[in-house]
């Protein structure tokens, strides 16, 4: 135990000493939002601000590499507002993370749920209403809790939870926007604090309204604005809101000893981590599953693939990593339903599914800012087609 403790202290010290160097590297290429989309919510971690819009600029060196639109609809969710609900013959509530509802991309907000109702209607010949409660950064602990509470309010006929493998070890967190000199800061915490104390939070996204001037600035003005933004980024990054000795995570070296399946031992900024076995000892999650069961409506869990998994022909999640979660689902009568995603050899027929180059690898250096592993607009339709087929099949099985 003493060796493990010394190893843990050494790991934390190494992270602390590397922080300044990592910050300098990150400040060369960064994203900046013109406004915050987030408001604090003690029960659900955070909520989107209804009707809020922001522009996201990708900066590399002294150049603007991209300008993306980010927006929240009038319902306080991502994607197209769905007015039809009570008049629908099948009302579906969806929970998920940013792969279900991504507030920012080259095409603006992206949600596979935008195309899903029409695709499902064509298969089951019923009018479908949908509420998308996908939230960026959410793991399964948070998305199940939000789905349960929203289901109590909205009375859906079906609940669909769409997750990715990474969600299995995401901890509960809280997010808030606080006023600070110069511009607001969006902060993530692992305990509910509307006004975070130093050492308990880290910056989620970089927000500065001055970035809005980049849209029409000439070359000289643009360089000056970028220099101002970079100076502020370095200033807030060095404010030590985040403590590496009392890290925003339970993912310590001990987790590697306890489970070889657990991955991600360090705090990753916006995504606090928990051990994979958290589901078997988390009373709130167990209570949420119990309440899901009491709702007496079909609850479907589906795992969405990443590009790398599709490209390599891998399953959507590691069975050992997911075992505690699957056992807890089974104890309440739920399961993760399989979806026959395309075979590895068929993937080249579906280019541009993700915000990655078509070869599936991020471009080196600053160009990598343009890409990540979220579905593109085309990819969202691709996912919704397979999900619509899976849900239609589940409905037909239940009708027999």
pLDDT of residue 215: 93
Q: What three-state secondary structure class fits 112?
A: helix
Is the distance from CB of 139 to CB of 171 less than 8 angstroms? Answer: yes
Classify residue 383 by its DSSP letter. H
pLDDT of residue 96: 98
pTM: 0.87
Cα–Cα dist 33/20, whole Å: 22
3-state helix, strand, coil in the chain (%, to 5): 40, 20, 40
222-259 per-position pLDDT tens digit: 999 999 999 998 888 755 444 433 443 434 444 444 43
Spatial neighbors of 68 by CB under 8 A, at least 6 apart, are 55, 56, 57, 58, 104, 105, 106, 108
Distance spanning both ends of the chain, measured CA to CA: 57
pLDDT of residue 15: 58
Q: What is the residue extent of each domain of the chain?
A: 28-76+174-244, 81-171+248-400
pLDDT of residue 263: 34
**Stretches in the chain below the pLDDT threshold 70:** 1, 4-5, 8, 11-27, 83, 198-200, 238-270, 356-372
Is the distance from CB of 230 to CB of 253 less than 8 angstroms? Answer: no
pLDDT of residue 23: 56
pLDDT of residue 364: 39
What's the alpha-carbon Rg for the chain, to the nearest Å? 21
Q: Which residue reads 């010290």 in tokens?
A: 13
Structure tokens at 202: 């880290």
What single string gives the DSSP state of each residue in 17-80?
HHHHHHHHHHTTEEEEESS--EEEETTTEEEE-TT-EEEEEEEETTEEEEEEEEE--TTSSSSS
Is the distance from CB of 79 to CB of 111 less than 8 angstroms? Answer: yes
pLDDT of residue 102: 95
pLDDT of residue 345: 82
Cα–Cα dist 388/392, whole Å: 6
Selection from 172, 233, 241 nearest residue 205 by Cα: 233
Superfamily of 81-171+248-400 according to CATH: SGNH hydrolase (3.40.50.1110)
Dihedral sign, Cα of residue 289, residue 292, residue 298, residue 303: negative
Cα–Cα dist 106/279, whole Å: 36
Cα–Cα dist 100/78, whole Å: 9
- What ranges in 316-376 are assigned the alpha helix state H? 319-331
pLDDT of residue 275: 86
Residue 3 has a CB neighbour count (10 Å cut-off) of: 7
Give, for 159, the enclosing helix (H) or strand (E): strand 158-163
Is the distance from CB of 285 to CB of 334 less than 8 angstroms? Answer: no
CA distances from 306 to 70, 86, 110, 261, 263 (A): 22, 34, 16, 19, 17
pLDDT of residue 116: 96
CA distances from 139 to 142, 144, 391 (A): 6, 9, 22
pLDDT of residue 280: 94
Q: What three-state secondary structure class fits 302?
A: strand
The pair phi, psi for residue 123, each rounded to 5°, is -100, -30
- What ranges in the chain are assigned the alpha helix state H? 2-26, 116-124, 140-154, 219-237, 253-258, 283-294, 307-312, 319-331, 377-399
pLDDT of residue 286: 98
pLDDT of residue 212: 96
Selection from 386, 400, 392 nearest residue 128 by Cα: 392
């Amino acid at each position: 135990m003493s060796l493990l403790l010394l190893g843990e202290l050494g790991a934390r010290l190494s992270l602390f000493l590397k922080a300044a160097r990592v910050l300098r590297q990150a400040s060369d290429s960064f994203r900046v939002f013109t406004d915050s989309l987030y408001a604090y919510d003690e029960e659900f971690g955070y909520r989107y601000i209804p009707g809020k819009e922001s522009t996201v600029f990708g900066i590399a060196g002294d150049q603007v590499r991209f300008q993306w639109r980010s927006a929240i609809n009038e319902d306080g969710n991502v994607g197209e507002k769905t007015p039809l609900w009570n008049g629908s013959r099948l009302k579906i509530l969806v929970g998920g993370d940013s792969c279900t509802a991504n507030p920012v991309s080259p095409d603006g907000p992206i949600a596979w749920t935008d195309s899903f109702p029409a695709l499902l209607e064509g298969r089951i010949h019923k009018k479908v209403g949908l509420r998308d409660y996908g939230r960026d950064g959410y793991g399964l602990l948070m998305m199940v809790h939000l789905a349960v509470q929203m289901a109590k309010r909205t009375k859906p006929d079906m609940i669909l939870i769409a997750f990715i493998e990474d969600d299995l070890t995401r901890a509960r967190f809280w997010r808030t926007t606080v006023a600070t000199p110069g511009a607001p800061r969006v902060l993530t915490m692992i305990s509910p604090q509307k006004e975070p104390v130093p050492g308990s939070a880290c910056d989620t996204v970089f927000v500065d309204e001055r970035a809005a001037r980049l849209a029409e600035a000439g070359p000289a003005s643009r360089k000056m604005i970028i220099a101002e933004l970079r100076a502020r980024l370095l200033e807030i990054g060095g404010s030590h809101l985040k403590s590496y000795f009392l890290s925003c995570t339970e993912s310590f070296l001990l987790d590697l000893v306890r489970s070889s399946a657990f991955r991600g031992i360090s705090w990753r900024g916006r995504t606090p981590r928990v051990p994979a076995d958290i589901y078997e000892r988390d009373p709130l999650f167990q209570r949420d599953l119990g309440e899901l069961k009491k709702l007496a409506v079909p609850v479907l869990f589906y795992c969405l693939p990443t590009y790398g998994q599709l490209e390599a022909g891998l399953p959507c999640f590691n069975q050992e990593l997911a075992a505690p979660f699957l056992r807890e689902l089974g104890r309440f009568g739920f399961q993760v339903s399989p979806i026959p995603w395309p075979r590895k050899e068929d993937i080249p027929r579906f280019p541009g599914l993700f915000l990655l180059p078509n070869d599936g690898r991020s471009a080196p250096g600053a160009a990598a800012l343009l890409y990540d592993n979220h579905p593109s607009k085309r990819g969202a339709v691709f996912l919704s087609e397979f999900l619509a087929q899976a849900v239609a099949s589940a409905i037909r099985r239940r009708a027999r």
